[in-house]
Amino acid sequence: MQGGVLIIDKPAGISSAQVVGKVKKLLRAKKVGHAGTLDPFATGVLVCLVGQATRLAQFFLTGRKQYEAELCLGIETDTQDPTGQVTNRRTVPAFSESDLQQVFERFSGLVEQVPPAYSALKHHGVALYKLARRGRPVQKPARRVCIEGIQIQAVSLPKVRFSVTCSAGTYIRTLCADIGHALGCGGHLSALRRTMSSGFDIGETVSLEMLNDWAEDPQTPVALIPPGTALRGMPALVASRATAAKIRCGGVIQVRDFTDLPPDATVMTNGDKGALFKVLDHNGDLMAVVSAPLEGDRMTYCGVYV
């Protein structure tokens, strides 16, 4: 069994790891993981990987995200979100929406962002939030993220609701803190809902309550997205029976083994690697993810799922 991908609408008040634990228990699965953590206070799209689909995590972690967020101006916290201790309070000027929009627009495009001290990033193998809780916060260097779009949705000072589309690795609470700093009154992220992650939309999610209902009724199939279908943005190649036999035994596969490989596949790039393709068998089941060579004929396995 290849398993599959389950898109959960994560509720507030529970960690992503706790959601994974519940999914694992309800589905009686040996392996469950997730692709992209949501903080306990946040809600929305959480991509859960079940069974062999856990091997696909690397291909979902780099996808872009969309959020609906609420910025609370005038109050700063040590965690940059509502779970932290208040570190500063300031008066919020009577900003117009035009004033706010001008500042928000400064954060569109490529921006430098300093990861928060309370985050899951590691320092010598220890999560930063654990060090911060011990009174030994570590400041990581700034890194570049991409804000593809940011739009104010509603203003009711001191609250500002906005939507944002961004690259993986963007911290929305840091974005809020930076906007508050730019406005001169400080601020923190007071609410967050992820509406899209790695191509999966909020409309495709299932709640933990729905999952519980499925688990109690064995006649109702669980809405697992097959691994091959879940890799939506990745072009597909269909393996012939001979090529499928090679993949099953870990044999060498070459460009000429695929008649449906695009003519420009060897010049398409994925960073410093060749373009990625998902290889399906004649039933449409995922067999492997491979990259086309930048030179030569031999294709590289990026993951095997048979």
* Domains in the chain: ranges and CATH: 4-63+200-227 (3.30.2350.10), 65-197 (3.30.2350.10), 234-304 (2.30.130.10)
Q: How far apart, in whole angstroms, are the C-alpha atoms of residue 250 and residue 240?
A: 15
**Joined tokens for residue 88:** 């500063």
Radius of gyration of the chain (CA): 22
Flag residues of the chain having pLDDT under 50. Answer: 1, 267-272
- So which residues are the catalytic ones? 39
Tell me the residue ranges of DSSP E strands in the chain. Answer: 4-10, 32-34, 43-50, 65-73, 75-77, 86-89, 109-113, 122-123, 126-127, 143-156, 159-166, 187-197, 200-201, 236-238, 269-270, 273-274, 276-280, 286-291, 300-304
- CB of 177 closer than 8 Å to CB of 76: yes
Instruction: Supply the pLDDT for residue 18.
Output: 96
β pairing state of 200-201 and 187-197: antiparallel
- Would you tell me the crossing angle of helices 208-216 and 16-27 to the nearest 10 degrees? 10
* Close Cβ partners of 55 (under 8 Å, ≥ 6 residues apart): 303, 305
Q: How far apart, in whole angstroms, are the C-alpha atoms of residue 291 and residue 123?
A: 32
Instruction: Supply the pLDDT for residue 105.
Output: 96
Instruction: Supply the pLDDT for residue 1.
Output: 46
- Would you tell me the crossing angle of helices 172-183 and 97-105 to the nearest 10 degrees? 120
Q: How far apart, in whole angstroms, are the C-alpha atoms of residue 64 and residue 179?
A: 21
* Close Cβ partners of 206 (under 8 Å, ≥ 6 residues apart): 6, 7, 8, 9, 223
* Close Cβ partners of 107 (under 8 Å, ≥ 6 residues apart): 147, 150, 175, 178, 179, 182
Torsion 208-212-214-218 (CA) sign:
positive
- CB of 76 closer than 8 Å to CB of 86: yes
Query: Furthest-apart CA pair in the chain: how many Å?
Result: 71
Beta partners for residue 122, in sequence order: 127
